[in-house]
Homo-oligomer: A and B are copies of this chain.
Amino acid sequence: MSEPVSSREPVSSPETVFAPVRSQTAFEETVERLGTAIKLGLLAPGTQLPAERELCRRLGIARSTLRQALTALSQSGHVFATRGRGGGTFVSDPQPPADPLSPEMLARWRETCDQRLAVELGVAVLAAERASAEDLAVLDEVYAALEAAVEDFAAYRQADIRLHVGLAEATRSPRLVSAMTEVQGAMTDLIAYIAHPPQVLASSNAQHKRLLAAVRKHDPASAVRAMAEHLQGTEHVLAGLLPER
């Protein structure tokens, strides 16, 4: 080497590189996955889960591990199981009350919003590029449910999640779908205890409407604008109620 290369010092961020490596166990991840799917209503109350022997095969884990997770979810009241032929594991109805959100969750709320911003903007662009007619038909249905639910926050949030997850599915990108469900799960924990008067939900719906219109026109730029505005709404609400940083 004739000459020292310009920048050989560590340019940045060994903090991120050497940050703790958190290895979630299969048990934990299963509880998380099924739990959020239930909390988000992706698995509606009353739904029957696949039989244990098939579910563990689909999840790629041992049956004993799956049973650990199901036992945990059953003890927390999210599912219940009945024995015998025709039995099975079912999503509880009604669901148990949400547990209070953890302090560390609350401390990192802005990071959660940042993550959501990324996922939602990406989804907005790709959904606008790729949504098919069938996708749009489904989304229109969900939007109708959304308009019908401005008076009932629980139902509204339910439909809201279905809309956003539906958009993610329209991108045909499994990773974005799971990223969306994950981030919506985190957002639900944050949003749960915040009052949402009907007029807020109505204005939120106006944004939904413009978002869907942009997707229908296959106009990614407009979709991004509508989505960004939509997200800013909830972020401002949170910023007003939660401690900064």
Residues of A within 8 A of B (CB): 6-14, 16-26, 29-30, 33-34, 37, 41-47, 50, 55, 58-61, 110-111, 114-115, 117-119, 121-123, 125-126, 138, 145, 162, 165-166, 169, 171, 173-179, 181, 220-221, 224-225, 228
Contacts and interface: CB of A to CB of B under 8 A. Distances in A.
Name the 3 nearest CB pairs between A and B, nearest first. A118-B122, A20-B60, A23-B26
Contacts of A59: 18-21
A60 B43 CA distance: 35
Contact of A21 (B6, B18, B26, B181): B26
Nearest to A220: B228
Interface of A, helix, strand, loop or mixed by DSSP: helix
Contact of A121 (B6, B43, B110, B125): B125
A154 B11 CA distance: 17
A19 to B, nearest CB: 7
8 contacts: A10-B42, A12-B138, A19-B58, A19-B178, A23-B24, A114-B173, A117-B126, A119-B122
B9 A44 contact: yes
Contacts of A18: 50, 55, 58-59
A150 to B, nearest CB: 15
A6 to B, nearest CB: 7
B21 A162 contact: no
Contact of A174 (B16, B58, B126, B175): B16
A17 B34 contact: yes
Nearest to A171: B114
Given A17-B34, A19-B178, A115-B173, 6 more contacts: A12-B42, A20-B60, A21-B61, A23-B24, A115-B179, A118-B179
Contacts of A41: 11
A28 B173 CA distance: 25
Nearest to A231: B125
Contacts of A173: 110-111, 114-115
A166 to B, nearest CB: 7
A7 to B, nearest CB: 7
A228 B125 contact: yes
Nearest to A66: B21
Contact of A11 (B42, B119, B123, B125): B42
Contacts of A20: 58-60
